Amino acid sequence: MLFSLLLLAAATAQASVLTLNAPRVTTYNANAEGIRTEVLKLTEKPRVPLAVGPTESLKLTFQVVEEGSDPIKGVQPLQTFLRFYDPETDEEGIQPLRTTPAGKAKFELNMAKPPLSIPPTTNSSILQVTLIVGAPNHSPLKIDLFDLTLPESHPPTQHPDEASFHLLPTIEHTFRAEQKVPPRPISALFAGLTLAPWAVLFGLWSRVFPGAPHLFSPSIFPFTATLGAFEVLLVWYWVDLKLGQVLLYGGILGVVTLFTGKTALASIGARRVGRK
């Protein structure tokens, strides 16, 4: 029985509908004298928009209650907002409202210091003011309260960097023409001129270089080959290898060169001793 009562109470709370009690809006002049007062209806908003001048103010009061409660039961919503929407520019602003535990709330608009939630307006702007209320265990409430006309807002101050975000002229690139390859005969001619000094050098060197008749003997050629391998290793390092790889391969070649060089020196020494 108790469980059924709890389910019934939960279903009743879930189905509770919010409404407004005594919603009223008043406009005042600079001397705090009332200009116009409207008792708002939840089914339709006033036909004539409320007007607030540069030195005037507006005050909205209401209480959020459960619909059909007797006596009146105030509800403190979790969220309460006023939405100011300009259909002409599609601009909107949201103003949060603070409500008391009894559900009472008020909003004051002083044109001497308007809140930032008011969107920019023009002389022809008519703001649609809507109340949005949300509370746990209650259906959300959205009511179109009234239309509002305000003085034209001042244009926003231009930021010094605003021009940097404007559309800039299209950048047109001028690319360098593709490199042209010279004719092959000319390339061959200059290649020959480049290699000619080497040909002369090797020709002269062959005349003054002492003879080495045993250079390719089995005891000397391995040493000569390891020296050539060192030259190849240096070229390979210049093209692709890392320093660590060069040190590793160079160490291995150094050991081989040591033994082949010792063998070559021993062979040359034995040959000289035999001549004597």
CATH assignment at residue 17: 2.60.40
Please report whether residue 233 resides in a domain.
yes
Contacts of 53 (CB under 8 A, 6+ apart): 29, 111, 151
Task: Give the model confidence (pLDDT) of 99-143 as tens digits.
Answer: 999 999 999 999 988 998 999 888 888 999 999 999 888 889 999
In a domain, 106, yes or no: yes
Write the CA distances from 236 to 183, 231, 245, 255, integer angstroms.
32, 9, 10, 19
Token pair in block for residue 134? 């949300």
**CA–CA distance, 253 with 198 (Å, rounded to integer):** 29
Judgement on whether residues 143 and 45 belong to the same structural domain of the protein: yes
Do 119 and 225 share a domain, yes or no? Answer: no
Q: Under the phi-then-psi rule, with left for phi > 0, alpha for psi from -120 to 50, and beta for the rest, what region is 206?
A: alpha
Asked if 26 and 34 count as a contact pair (C-beta separation under 8 A), the reply is yes
12 has a pLDDT exceeding 60: no
Domain contains 68: yes
Last residue of a domain, one of 119, 137, 152: 152
26 within some domain: yes
* pLDDT, tens only, 71-108: 888 999 999 999 999 999 899 999 999 999 999 999 99
Any domain includes 116: yes
Task: Choose one of 133, 152, 171: the last residue of a domain.
Answer: 152
- Pick the last residue of a domain from 134, 152, 170: 152
Indicate the burial class of 59 (C-beta count within 10 angstroms; 0-12, 13-18, 19 or more): middle
Shared domain for 231 and 133, answered yes or no, is no
* Sequence letter at residue 98: R
Contact call for residues 83 and 92 (beta carbons, < 8 A): yes
**Chain mean pLDDT for the chain:** 85
For the chain, what is the domain count?
Answer: 2
Domain range for 76 is 12-152
List pLDDT tens digits, range 203-228. Answer: 887 776 666 667 678 888 888 889 88
CA separation for the pair 32, 48 (Å, rounded): 22
Do residues 16 and 148 share a domain?
yes
